[in-house]
């Protein structure tokens, strides 16, 4: 069975291959030296390392960035004894189970292979892309890209432990039916409008929205999600991705940023699945992602003024990436990586423009002495 082009690993284009990236693997092997106990679930560091490794052609920026954080962070304590993990399904939605589940998945992956354990989980639970503000999904995709066993186990464990279920309802879906995501999201803004946003936690905002009685039934539906044709679903994922990057360019905000990085992570995760398994899993996974996008759309931060930046052409990517390798913030690095990865898959100019905006913001902060 052939793959749709956006689900082919060749869609990564010029992205630096990470499976044989010795420097990245050495850093990921040494995460405790950066203050990260193996029991720690909430961390951006390994994802930022993978992002920087992918866009830093020379490797110098990755080494300097990691060294600065190693100097600034105390060493982690040794890992204490872990509880037994008789059935990984008992850990769904239980963040306290992360340490044991991570070690369990690591052992299972060593014994049976990453792909087999990944497929067991994807078939064995409802897909929840927005858990921990999309970070389980994002860390899993970075681990798979790097083919780093420990990070694959950590990402999969985070995906499971951070999973959550919106409020149950007996109501049949009643939201309007649309042919494209842009029209559906415009309707969502007009008919339901903004919901309360917790500025300190995307996760709490999403959970609060998902708990609203009747809201899920009112969310707009996409006619294309009634199909199981991979080409139709791939086009839908692409259209959602375009909405996300345009929304971030227009209004910024961490929630919209995570729609870009989360959408990129979903596409890259799908690239790592065998074609037949992807075809079987894709309809439900994309439906779950669309629901998460709608909820995130409603709780996104108020629009902010975005820096004005000169438009960049795709031919400028080598220069763009050399500049992007100087970014320091973990979210900026993950966004830079997602933009380059998605530009290789889709070829849209919005991704180069988003990098231009990030770089302009970095210049403004540097000039201000920040």
Beta bridge partners of 222: 178
For residue 177, report the phi and psi dihedrals to the nearest 5 degrees: -100, 130
Tell me the pLDDT band of 209, cut-offs 50, 70 and 90.
Answer: very high
pLDDT of residue 72: 64
* Closest listed residue to residue 153, CA positions, set 104, 196, 224, 222: 104
DSSP-derived 3-state class of residue 28 = helix
Tell me the pLDDT band of 370, cut-offs 50, 70 and 90.
Answer: low
Q: Contact at 8 Å (CB) between 253 and 301?
A: yes
Q: Which residues contact 287 (CB under 8 A, 6 or more apart)?
A: 225
Print burial letters for 73-91: b (CB count within 10 Å at least 16), e (below 16): eeebeeeeeeeebeebeeb
Q: How far apart are CA 263 and CA 279, in angstroms?
A: 18
Q: How far apart are CA 166 and CA 134, in angstroms?
A: 15
Tokens representing 58 are 């020379």
Q: Contact at 8 Å (CB) between 85 and 91?
A: yes
Give the helix/strand (H/E) hosting 100. Answer: helix 98-112
Tokens representing 10 are 């060749």
Q: Which of 69-78, 223-232, 308-317, 355-364 has the lowest mean pLDDT?
A: 69-78
The vertex-281 CA angle with 279 and 286, nearest 5°, equals: 100
pLDDT of residue 42: 63
Q: What ranges do the domains of the chain cover?
A: 18-161, 177-299, 314-367
Q: Is the dihedral of CA 237, 243, 244, 245 positive or negative?
A: positive
DSSP state of 120: H
Q: Which of 34-38, 88-92, 162-166, 249-253 has the lowest mean pLDDT?
A: 34-38
- What Rg do the C-alpha atoms of the chain give, in angstroms? 20
Q: How far apart are CA 362 and CA 294, in angstroms?
A: 30
Q: Contact at 8 Å (CB) between 266 and 289?
A: yes
Beta bridge partners of 177: 221
Tokens 């759309």: give the residue.
Answer: 297
Q: How far apart are CA 161 and CA 39, in angstroms?
A: 12
Q: Contact at 8 Å (CB) between 137 and 269?
A: yes
Q: Contact at 8 Å (CB) between 279 and 155?
A: no
Q: Each residue of 271-315: pLDDT tens digit?
A: 999 999 999 999 999 999 999 999 999 999 999 999 888 777 766
Q: How far apart are CA 359 and CA 17, in angstroms?
A: 24
Tell me the pLDDT band of 71, cut-offs 50, 70 and 90.
Answer: low
Q: Each residue of 128-187: pLDDT tens digit?
A: 999 999 999 999 999 999 999 999 999 999 999 999 988 766 677 888 999 999 999 999
DSSP state of 70: H
Q: Which residues contact 226 (CB under 8 A, 6 or more apart)?
A: none
Q: Each residue of 310-330: pLDDT tens digit?
A: 777 766 788 888 899 999 999
Q: Contact at 8 Å (CB) between 289 and 240?
A: yes
């Amino acid at each position: 069975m052939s793959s749709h082009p956006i689900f082919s690993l060749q869609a990564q284009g010029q992205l630096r291959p990470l499976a044989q990236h010795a420097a990245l693997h050495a850093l990921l092997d040494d995460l405790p030296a950066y203050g990260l106990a193996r029991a720690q679930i909430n961390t951006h560091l390994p994802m930022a390392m993978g992002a920087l490794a992918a866009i830093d052609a020379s490797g110098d920026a990755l080494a300097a960035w990691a060294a600065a954080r190693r100097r600034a962070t105390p060493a982690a304590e040794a890992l204490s004894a872990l509880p037994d993990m008789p059935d990984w399904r008992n850990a769904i939605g239980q963040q306290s189970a992360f340490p044991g589940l991570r070690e369990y998945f690591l052992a299972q992956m060593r014994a049976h292979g990453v792909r087999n354990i990944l497929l067991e989980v994807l078939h064995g639970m409802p897909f929840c892309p927005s858990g921990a503000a999309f970070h389980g999904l994002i860390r899993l995709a970075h681990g798979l890209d790097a083919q780093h066993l420990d990070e694959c186990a950590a990402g999969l464990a985070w995906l499971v432990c951070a999973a959550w279920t919106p409020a149950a309802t007996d109501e049949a879906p009643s939201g309007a039916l649309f042919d494209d995501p842009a029209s559906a999201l415009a309707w969502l803004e007009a008919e339901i409008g903004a919901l309360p946003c917790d500025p300190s936690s995307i996760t709490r905002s999403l959970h609060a929205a998902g708990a609203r009685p009747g809201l899920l039934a009112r969310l707009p539906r996409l006619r294309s999600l009634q199909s199981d044709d991979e080409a139709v679903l791939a086009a839908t994922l692409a259209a959602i991705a375009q909405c996300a990057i345009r929304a971030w360019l227009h209004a910024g905000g961490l929630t919209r940023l995570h729609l870009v990085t989360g959408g990129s992570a979903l596409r890259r995760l799908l690239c790592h699945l065998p074609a037949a398994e992807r075809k079987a899993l894709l309809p439900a996974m994309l439906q779950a992602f669309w629901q998460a996008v709608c909820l995130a759309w409603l709780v996104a931060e108020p629009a902010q003024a975005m820096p004005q930046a000169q438009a960049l052409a795709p031919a400028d990517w080598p220069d763009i990436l050399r500049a992007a390798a100087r970014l320091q913030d973990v979210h900026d690095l993950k966004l830079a990586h997602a933009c380059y990865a998605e530009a290789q898959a889709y070829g849209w100019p919005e991704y180069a423009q988003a990098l231009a905006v990030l770089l302009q913001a970095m210049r403004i902060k540097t000039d201000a002495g920040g």
